[in-house]
Structure 1
Amino acid sequence: MSKQQEELLEQIDKQFGEQFAKLFKYFDDKIDALDAKLDTKADAGRTYASLDAIVSRLDRDETERAAVTSQVDRHESMLQKVARKLGLN
């Protein structure tokens, strides 16, 4: 192989290496950006799951509070009837 051919091969290798490095950096940056988006989506998913759990607890608490209020109202009504029958009004 002649010196000129060797120099040409070295130049091609150098250019290929530079292009490969640029391409590698480009894909590395893209992968990092996708990872960041996935992390954000995972965080959003955890946030939505937490909010769903909180809403569920609030709903149960509201239902239980309504049942307790109803029971207290019934007890109060019965106590008033007993008080009237006993003449404690």
Structure 2
Amino acid sequence: MTILNTRIRARAGLAPKTVSSQQALIDALLIERRKELAFEGHSRMDLLRNRLALRSGNPAAAFGGAKTILPIPQREIDNNPGLQRQQNSGY
């Protein structure tokens, strides 16, 4: 993988890319995924899966905030006895 990545970047005239930690690698991959899959609807789930805020500077859009967790549909609550009297907070 490293050799292939280095050859591709060299062919494109780019310097080799290095990362200093596992989190730096994850951040770099998320940025590349965001660029590659723009407008395909994957970024929201990528951010939530990695416990990142949907929008910076908005506390309601932070991971686990009121704007990130959707309500359980009433139909599902009606059909499943285990969900009776349960709903995500904020709804």
Q: TM-score range by the shorter chain?
A: under 0.3
Structure with bigger RCO (C-alpha 8 Å, 6+ apart): 2
TM-score where L is the length of structure 1: 0.21
TM-score where L is the length of structure 2: 0.20
Structure with the larger helix share: 1
